[in-house]
Amino acid sequence: MAVSTNDLKNGMTLDLPEGLFSVVEFQHVKPGKGGAFVRTKLKNVRSGAVLDRTWRADEKLEQAIIDKHEMQYLYKDGDGCVFMDASSFEQMSVTEAALGQAARFLKEGDSVPLSLYKGEIVGVELPAAVELEVTETEPGLQGDRVSGARKPATLQTGIVIQVPLFVNVGDRVKVDTRSGEYLTRA
């Protein structure tokens, strides 16, 4: 569906020759001399790269319609992840590369909204923080209470993060999905 650059809005997704881009911000500029133009900041939906682009006013661009489906993560299958549509029970396999960093925080049974474009998954929306169980870490030593001291801990999804010394195997911890850092014990 073609859309004019005059009708751009924040959050709108465009299908450009370089790929799928989401409009982060836009500015309509009308200089004293010459024609009006639209200056935009775009974010690649798949890679997250940011791009600055300028177009003439009233130039036509192709808008991408992104569908969001609530899907449940079932299990990991080789280099892919299997999801099930909550309404139709249809299963779909997705490569970890398509999910990006989100694959590190998914555990079996989680329901997450997936963004689909022409039947292909282009993104996943994780909550700001997830609760994961610690499966492996060194025991904290009695009396070793240096402020801010950290130790590595392996979580149930396989990722390794730095946690405080008092966290033990079996504890549940909250992890920030944007940075991958320990937040608090759950």
What CATH number should be reported for the domain whose range is 67-124? 2.40.50.140
Query: So what's the pLDDT on residue 41?
Result: 94
Query: So what's the pLDDT on residue 172?
Result: 92
Query: So what's the pLDDT on residue 109?
Result: 86
What CATH number should be reported for the domain whose range is 2-62? 2.30.30.30
Q: What is the pLDDT along the chain (186 residues), one digit of tens a residue?
A: 788 888 888 888 898 888 889 899 999 989 888 888 999 999 888 777 898 999 998 889 999 888 888 889 898 888 888 888 888 888 888 888 777 788 888 888 888 888 888 877 787 888 888 899 999 988 866 666 666 778 899 999 889 999 888 888 889 999 988 888 888 888
Output 38-44 pairs: Cβ under 8 A, ≥24 positions apart. 38/5, 38/6, 38/8, 40/8, 42/14, 42/16, 44/18, 44/19, 44/20
- Amino acid in the structure at residue 156: Q
Q: Cα angle at 65 between 25 and 71, to 5 degrees?
A: 105
Query: So what's the pLDDT on residue 147?
Result: 64
* β pairing state of 67-77 and 13-16: unpaired
As a whole number of angstroms, the distance between CA 5 and CA 135 comes to 51
Instruction: Report CA-CA distances (Å) from 27 to 14, 16, 36, 53, 186.
Output: 16, 19, 11, 11, 43
As a whole number of angstroms, the distance between CA 148 and CA 108 comes to 32
Query: So what's the pLDDT on residue 120?
Result: 79
Same fold, 67-124 and 129-185: yes
At which residue do the structure tokens 């998914």 appear?
106
Write out pLDDT tens, residues 17-50.
Answer: 888 898 999 999 898 888 889 999 998 887 778 9
Sheet holding 67-77, edge to edge: 91-95, 80-85, 67-77, 111-117, 120-124
As a whole number of angstroms, the distance between CA 50 and CA 116 comes to 21
Query: So what's the pLDDT on residue 92?
Result: 85
Domain range summary for the chain, segments of one domain joined by +: 2-62, 67-124, 129-185
* β pairing state of 80-85 and 160-164: unpaired
Query: So what's the pLDDT on residue 48?
Result: 77
CATH of 129-185, one of 3.30.470.20, 2.40.50.140, 3.40.120.10, 3.40.50.300: 2.40.50.140
Q: Where are the alpha helices (DSSP H) in 82-149?
A: 96-99
